[in-house]
Amino acid sequence: MSYPEPNVANLLKCPYCGNDSEFFEITDDVITTTHYIQNRDGSFTISEKSSQALGDVKLFCASCEEDLSTLHQRFSEMIF
């Protein structure tokens, strides 16, 4: 498999400090649903986990901690 070379101009970058490698996301009011399968010995194994955000999702720079929520749409399109 080969991927095209990433275009550096497309990197999401913090406009405040220039950080382009670490970001974090904070989500309000999340409902997490976890499906379990019970094994024959009575233990449980997670089969599926999903979460749904009911509140705001905010994006922050992990370096200077500025609110980058205006870039969140683009950020979420680039999560693979």
Provide the binding-site residues for Zn ion, judged by CB under 5 A: 14, 16-17, 19, 61, 63-64
Q: How far is the CB of 61 from Zn ion (least distance, A)?
A: 3
Between 16 and 36, CB nearer to Zn ion: 16
| Two structure tokens written together for 47 | 């089969």
Give the C-alpha separation, 54 to 56, whole Å. 7
Between 57 and 63, CB nearer to Zn ion: 63
Q: How far is the CB of 70 from Zn ion (least distance, A)?
A: 13
DSSP line for 22-52? -EEEEESSEEEEEEEEE-TTS-EEEEEEEEE
